[in-house]
Amino acid sequence: MKSRRWPWVLSAFVVVFLLGLSCGHLFSQNISYQTKNDVVENTPNFSSVLALQDVLRNIAKSVMPAVVSITVESEQVIPNPYADFFNDPFFRRFFGYEEQPREFRRKLQGAGSGFIVSKDGYIFSNYHVIKGAQKIIVILSDNRQFEAKVVGYDEELDFAVLKINANNLPVVAIGDSDTVQVGDFAIAIGNPFGLSGTYTFGVVSAIARRGMTGFQKFIQTDTAVNPGNSGGPLINIRGQVVGINTAIRSKTGAYEGISFAIPINTAINSASQILNKGSVERGYLGVSLGEIDATTRKMLGIENGVLIARVEKDSPAEKAGIKPRDIILKVNGKVVKKPEDVQFLIGSSAPGSSVTLEILRDGKKISVSATLVKRPSGGVAQAKPGEKEESSSAGSVEFLGGTFVSATSSQLQANGADYGVLVQSLSDESPLAEILEPGVIVMAINNEPIKNLEDFKSFVKKHGKEKSFLFVIASRGYVYYRGIER
């Protein structure tokens, strides 16, 4: 039996051996991976794309060490709505309640970003990041932590300067935000949602976007900016900081394709005043400004400009010879189209500095220089409670489907006008309904002052049949040119 099994056992060993060899050969084979995409590699000028990638990498390497995360601790005071109820002597006597506190205090934490601008620890960020802070912790890219102090801030710009006690720190390179153009590359580095050192890339979508105050002219980008990015740098393709990421436009609170940055030149101007004076002072000209619409610009034969509606007494404007209804075309050589353009340029100039205005007066261009003073606080004057109004003159004037009456002193004051007549009503068919509304003040028509109802009657009698009318109107503290053509 043994002799009969031996050939079978030998055969089995041979089969197993051969199977082992074949399996070993099968599993020892390596896949030959293709590592080159010939279609892409052979693209004309592909090397320039690789060079751009190297630039973007080098921006990250050089700028990230100077970008910091900022953690803010603050306290919120919440009134106790039940304090009076439970502190009532009746409840305390019969129910034994202890006296309730009048308020509760809750600790809050916030986060943002910033960037180092000097080796000895000066940092730029946003004011809203550190507003109300009791303690500010700055975390560097190497995870070192420092407690920061607020050197100063510019609330109207939403800008703050911080300082940490450190030396030999990495710093950013500062660029020129005046050279930024639509289409430029834009890079943001910051601390979105607590993810420090986040790098995003996009382009400049618009420049000089109006902000929440007249002193904000934002750079708009499509670079991804989220909560926590505030205060971080906006960087150009040269690796220079050209802005401070400040805000987004969003319905959800997260990035939706639109973000805004403070131009770095504007921030540096504020920083200079903070470091040298301890606060920010803005220039003041002493004029009330009004916007000029497209129809009116056409009638005046101009492409841009801002109306001077009123000149304050003893102001720099009055001393320079500026008059109501002058039109500012340029400020220091820069074209202005809206009142906020003038406000920004004047406010960006220091008190005591001189500005040159190109003005259109009676169809002629003239140049006027004015020395600015410190801008006072305060808003549009309003009628005082209990102030006695002057009674309206009897009668009214009907003109182009509108009814006009004399204006009281409080109506003039509330609308920011020194004189004029009040629009009492407008018919549905009136062509004036496109440019006027009840309650506004008409100060002039076709460059003729309308100081009272008699002036208005005289104008209608002389010019009522003309084809076009250019109104100067005051409404809610603002003064405008508005024109119609029949």
**Catalytic site residues?**
128, 158, 230
Three-state SS at 234: strand
The span from the CA of 472 to the CA of 240, in Å, is: 46
161's CB contacts (< 8 A; 6+ apart) are 122, 123, 124, 150, 151, 152, 153, 271, 274, 275
Q: Could you tell me what percentage of the chain is helix, strand and coil, using 3-state DSSP and rounding each to the nearest 5?
A: 25, 35, 40
188's CB contacts (< 8 A; 6+ apart) are 199, 200, 202, 221, 223, 224, 225, 229, 232, 233, 234, 235, 245, 259
User: Are the C-beta atoms of residues 305 and 336 closer than 8 Å to each other?
Assistant: yes
The span from the CA of 16 to the CA of 12, in Å, is: 6
User: Are the C-beta atoms of residues 240 and 95 closer than 8 Å to each other?
Assistant: no
For 418-464, give the DSSP string: SS-EEEEEE-TT-GGGGT--TT-EEEEETTEE--SHHHHHHHHHHHT
